Amino acid sequence: MKHNGTILHNKDGYDVIDCNECGFKHINPIPSNEELDKLYANDFYSKDKPTYFKNNAEEDKDWWKTINDNYYDLFEEHLPEGSKSVIDIGCGPGTFLSHGTKRDWYTVGIEPALDAVNYCTEQNLEVYHSFLDEHTHKILGTYDVVNMRKVLEHIPNPIEFIQNAKSLLKPNGLICVTVPNDYNPLQMMAVEDEQWWVSIPHHINYFSFDSIQKLLENAGFKIIVKEADFPLEFFLLMGDNYVKDSKLGKQCHLKRTKFEETIYNTELRKGLYKSFAENNIGRDIIMIGQLR
């Protein structure tokens, strides 16, 4: 496919375009499968995120409990009683899977990074060491929920990828997609000279609420949940420039986690985060579609 669209940014020899053919923003040219295989199978955690397991799975475990509880609460709200099977695509260190097992869900993961798979195996989690593609989706079975958190931004062909994920669902099953909310209004207010959210080659695609909704609807899903998470750009607009100061980034993260742990499981949180989505803000987009 030939990709055409308005050029929004140029970095490291790539353009970010608002693609007319795809309906969402992505880099051009798109990296080859061989380049991506090396990046994610070999280098992603050990080289690019060496402290991820410790910081993400261990230090933030209380915060992750509140986050994952929200996901599972939403699934259980929209599924028949007893429908409790989920496959997590790109499961990383298995935090989401581990939490699901504690809530009596049957959980399976698929993950291309071997060090993450080994970490999951040590926790007795069921995880396949592979990419999801036109071959592997045929051997994974079917589930009530397909979950993919921070995955689609890395995929060279999200349209095809969603179709492969769709084949993993039981009738009336749910797909839950979480992606960064890029080029959002708060980012555009805060940006000075550098679009810091453009992360090449890790992030190929850059989604908005509208573009991810259309992607799912075109694949045959009815959108039943549309939420955002905390708009981290609030800190930038209040003068805490975590983009240029990593120490500030840690402080902002701790403030965010404290806030979310405090208001979790309240009607206020539910209404507030839905309101963020309605206004196209929030650092991440959370969208759930039901198979028609």
- Arithmetic mean of pLDDT, 145-174: 97
Q: Tens digit of pLDDT for each residue in 203-242? A: 999 999 999 999 999 999 999 999 999 999 999 999 999 9
Q: Tens digit of pLDDT for each residue in 37-75? A: 777 766 565 555 556 666 665 778 889 999 999 999 999
- Arithmetic mean of pLDDT, 26-47: 77
pLDDT score at 60: 87
| Structure token pair of residue 291 | 């198979």
**DSSP-derived secondary structure letter, 214:** H
Residue 92 has pLDDT above 80, yes or no: yes
Contact indicator for 220, 165 with CB cutoff of 8 Å: no
Prediction pTM value: 0.93
pLDDT score at 214: 98
pLDDT score at 57: 59
Write down the CATH superfamily of domain 50-291.
Vaccinia Virus protein VP39 (3.40.50.150)
Report the mean per-residue pLDDT for the chain. Answer: 92
pLDDT score at 47: 58
3-state secondary structure labels for all residues of 91-155: CCCCHHHHHHHHCCCEEEEEECCHHHHHHHHHCCCCEEECCCCCCHHHHCCCEEEEEEECCHHHC
pLDDT score at 33: 78
Whole-angstrom distance, CA of residue 2 vs CA of residue 162: 20
- Arithmetic mean of pLDDT, 263-270: 89
- pLDDT confidence band for 271 (50 / 70 / 90): very high
Task: Write the CB contacts of 208 (distance below 8 Å, at least 6 apart in sequence).
Answer: 24, 25, 181, 182, 183, 184, 280, 285
